[in-house]
Amino acid sequence: MAKFLIEARYNTEGARGLAAKGGTDRRDAIAELFEANGGKLEAFYFALGETDAYVFGDLPDNETATAIALAVNSAGAVTIRTTVLLTPEQVDAAARASVDYRAPGS
């Protein structure tokens, strides 16, 4: 499974929904979303600042993460940004990989 960070920003409609039902209801809804799509929610944090919530979890693949992003963003109450996270072991494997690359202008 792949690990993802999702950063959420609520608009006015989303903030109203959050105020009406509370933070634990939102966290539980996101946990259900992950599980229904073959994944697992690892952590959910609300924040003050530019980002309203940080979601960490596992999903089967990039396509599943993209499908969730499309569904959430098109619903209109929140905008999310999804980042694929890599383990240190994945970075080790990438560092050992041989890649032929030609820099621009060379």
Q: What single string gives the DSSP state of each residue in 50-94? A: S-SEEEEEEES-HHHHHHHHHHHHHHSSEEEEEEEE--HHHHHHH
The model's pLDDT over 56-85, given as tens digits with 9 standing for 90+, comes to: 999 999 999 999 999 999 999 999 999 999
Sequence-distant (6+) residues with CB within 8 A of 48 are none
Domains in the chain: ranges and CATH:
2-87 (3.30.70.920)
Q: Report if pTM > 0.85.
A: yes
Q: Which of 29-33, 39-43, 55-59, 100-104 has the lowest mean pLDDT?
A: 100-104
Stated as kind and residue range, the H or E segment containing 10 is: strand 2-10
Which H, E and C letters describe 20-41, residue by residue? HHCHHHHHHHHHHHHHHCCCEE
